[in-house]
Chain A
Amino acid sequence: MASNFFAARTTTTRPTTKSQVIEPALQPWVEKYRPKTIDDVSAQEHTVAVLQKTLTSTNLPHMLFYGPPGTGKTSTILALSRQLFGPDNFRNRVLELNASDERGIAIVREKIKNFARQTPRAQAVASDGKTYPCPPYKIIILDEADSMTQDAQGALRRIMETYARITRFCLVCNYVTRIIEPLASRCSKFRFTPLDNDSAALRLSHIAHEERIVIDKPIIDALISTSHGDLRRAITYLQSASRLSSSTNPPTKIQPADIQEIAGVVPDSIINDFASSIGVEVEGGMDVDDEPHSKKGTFDHIKKKVKYLMREGYSATQIISQLHDLVVFHPTLDSRKKSNCALIFAEADKALCDGADEELWVLEVALRVNKVVS
């Protein structure tokens, strides 16, 4: 392999730093503001309360964390582990495996075997002077466990039994139904719910405050409405927006529209215009069109609008999801029409999941919605 891109490493004399240290200023905020203790975890009160108890008792069940992305699952188990073992022991007591790692079951078995080999010894005082419970077991975190095959999960079940004495497993996943029953039934289950708006707003304000950026309510609202309860997304959007605004000279103030663009959302004016051209009139939306009313709803007119959206690069799923919201929450369309539109949206979603052509399907949705509402 004559690739000096990789080989370069062997010819260097520069001492390589082992740990992945990043200057705090360049750290992604999602990492920087990952909850340090389970008390820092917002909104998941029930889970936190139960886990609090495990900190004082020495017993911990196997656990299954499930819920949508960005609700604190990974953060919670990492924080819990850190609180149980402290900084010194974290490395030899906690094994984190996730879908990014090679996870053929043979490899998992091998890793776990090696990891579980030495019986853990308790240690009283950590280097930071604090005492940690340091219970006599190790924790194995299988993050994104729902991407493991059924077979692998079956094998995992036996591994769990073999090492039951000295290990506790924590499975983390989005869909609990993708975890096979025998595995799930061995775990205490914790459900993580999408963050409510108030908790999300609080956390975002906290981060903004720490980063010394000024954000007002409309921006928080934009962050929350574009991230749908996924705090990771909200934080990433905030960081991106702040990067963009601070990188111009002079720095510009973050606008809600910036957040929408970063999130890939089609601007309201464009989606409203599209909706109106297919016969879904949007309340309060001005008729910005110069086109005579008679042209609206004709095939050529609709096709032209779709082509325009495609050329602008908006994604079909995004367009359809915004159109869906407009139709479903429309103040005057009757229920029958809404229901018929719902059928179309569902069909389009499935088609796009199957890899269908985006332009054909945006056009399909547009034409059919137009037919239903007119």
Chain B
Amino acid sequence: MSLFVDQESYFRPRTLDTLHYHHGLSERLKALAASGDFPHMLFYGPSGAGKKTRITCVLRQLFGAGVEKLKIDQRVFLSPSKRKLEINIVQSNYHIEITPSEAGSYDRLVIQELLKEIAQTQQVDLSAKQRFKVVIINEADSLSRDAQAALRRTMEKYMSNMRIILCANSTSRLIAPIKSRCLLMRVAAPNEEEMMTVLKYVAKRAGFDLPPEAGEKIVEDSNGNLRKAILILEALKMQTPDLNGPLSIAKPDWEVYCYKVADLLVSEQSPARVMEVRAKLYELLSHCIPPTIILKTVAERVVEKVDEALKADIMHWAAFYEVRMRTGSKKIYHLEAWVVKVMSLYKVLFRLLMQNPFD
């Protein structure tokens, strides 16, 4: 089965002209691609906002349909300690795509070698529309500082036959010298209206009309993430083909599980309950749900259910323990610490209320 999201006949646009929202941005990109003066670029914005789709469209605008002929190659790199690193690289004749996190702590090495090679290669396809090749670096915000440092001068030096397109969720983790060498392109998540338009369009292409109430529900549920919205649409369509009547949007299992944790936390505060919650958190971790997502999901659910007086504190400690989790090594310790903290906040407030019942 192919998904609505990927099936371009339904949705995924391939050219800048067919992109749905942020038309101003598309126009700019088109003009830049045509100008012959294409800079290094940094696309940033929340996930599911359509960065990748936009980049693909830019490539197409730059090089024509040939850029869609992709191959996946496995390349072998040798680490300084002579360990072999095998990395998959997606490429066409005109561009190459890397996801540095695949190289782990050797991202610097991989980037350096790849870029040097490309930089020293001239475009050989005489009919190519551009003299340069494009290097796309996905998840650029996970590049180590070392790898970023290695990029900075390369970006200046090899401008003649290479352009870099970085794709990241945020610019916070990129060092200033990289940012200052790129044209920044912010891709905001589509707003509700824009999401609605896209959903209606996808439905039409799939041969049905989307009832407005269903559309609204999906938009509300997907938090600006268009990919998620389209997936939900597809799931709903399978569940309730006419999309009428009360719809229940099935949450992913892990999300339901997180809610359960939150409910446990709110309904009782005791050592026994801590143990219970702990077991559930372990379960989530062992299913590879990123700890930050767990913490955020549980916390957001908890604050929906508690007194206004507690909300800010609960989020404060979530922020606090989230950093601890990153710098520390045992994720569970910090999740657990947060749970205990929240329970004790709860108890303290409760005791206060009991002391001054008429406050």
Contact = CB atoms under 8 A, between A and B. Distances in A.
Contacts of B27: 248
B contact face: mostly helix, strand, loop, or mixed: mixed
A57 interface: no
Given A9-B121, A351-B323, A262 B80 contact: no
A148 to B, nearest CB: 11
A49 to B, nearest CB: 28
B224 to A, nearest CB: 4
B359 interface: no
A244 B37 CA distance: 10
Interface in A207-253: 230, 232-233, 236, 239-240, 243-244, 246-249
Contact of A356 (B112, B161, B326): B326
B153 A69 contact: no
B36 A69 contact: no
B242 interface: no
Nearest to B48: A311
A365 B302 CA distance: 20
Contacts of B311: 299
A5 B96 contact: yes
Contact of A21 (B160, B223, B303): B160
A69 B171 contact: no
Contacts of A354: 323, 326-327
Contacts of B200: none
B76 interface: yes
B172 A247 contact: no
Contacts of A351: 319, 323
A98 interface: yes
Nearest to A143: B153
A6 B159 contact: no
A244 B27 CA distance: 10
A284 interface: no
Interface residues of B, number: 74
Nearest to B306: A299
Contacts, number: 191
Nearest to B182: A236
Given A144-B149, A264-B179, A357 B122 contact: no
A314 interface: yes
Interface stretch (B5-13, B186-194, B232-240, B259-267): B186-194
B106 interface: no
A270 B204 CA distance: 35
Interface in A305-326: 307, 310-318
Contact of A315 (B34, B80, B91, B170): B170
Contact of B184 (A3, A232, A243, A263): A263
A316 B316 CA distance: 16
Nearest to B121: A9
Interface string A353-368: 0111111110110011
Among B152, B154, B180, B303, the most chain A Cβ lie within 10 Å of the Cβ of B180
A244 B26 CA distance: 12
Interface stretch (B38-46, B59-67, B244-252): B38-46
A248 B24 CA distance: 11
A362 B181 CA distance: 26
A14 to B, nearest CB: 6
Interface residues of A, number: 77
B153 A363 contact: no
A127 interface: no
B296 interface: yes
B39 A243 contact: yes
A6 B117 contact: yes
B75 A1 contact: yes
Contacts of A17: 122
Nearest to A359: B296
A8 B172 contact: no
B269 interface: no
Interface in A135-189: 143-144, 147
Given A69-B180, A361-B319, A244 B186 contact: no
B316 A367 contact: yes
Interface string B153-177: 1101111110000000011110011
Interface stretch (A24-32, A83-91, A192-200): A24-32
Contacts of B118: 5-6
A36 B45 CA distance: 39
A70 B153 CA distance: 13
Nearest to A16: B122
B188 A312 contact: yes
Interface string B16-55: 0000000000011001101111010000111001000000
A311 B189 contact: yes
B288 interface: no
A25 B37 contact: yes
A313 B44 contact: yes
Interface in B326-356: 326-327
A360 B39 contact: no
Contact of B158 (A20, A21, A101, A261): A20
Nearest to A242: B37
B1 interface: no
A100 interface: yes
Contacts of B117: 6
A194 to B, nearest CB: 13
A30 B152 CA distance: 14
Given A5-B96, A356-B326, A99 B91 contact: no
Contacts of B56: none
Nearest to A100: B153
Contacts of B180: 69-70, 230, 232-233, 236
Given A246-B35, A313-B170, A355-B323, 4 more contacts: A3-B91, A243-B183, A247-B28, A261-B186
Kindly list the 7 A-B residue pairs having the minimum CB-CB distance in the complex, ordered from nearest: A247-B31, A313-B45, A100-B153, A364-B319, A311-B189, A299-B311, A233-B180
18 contacts: A20-B158, A22-B159, A22-B160, A99-B150, A100-B157, A147-B146, A230-B180, A240-B39, A244-B28, A263-B184, A298-B308, A315-B171, A317-B171, A317-B172, A318-B172, A355-B323, A364-B319, A368-B312
Interface of B: 27-28, 31-32, 34-37, 39, 44-46, 49, 73, 75-76, 80, 89, 91, 93, 96, 112, 117-118, 121-122, 124-126, 133, 146, 149-154, 156-161, 170-173, 176-177, 179-181, 183-184, 186-189, 223-224, 292, 296, 303, 308, 311-312, 315-316, 318-319, 322-323, 326-327
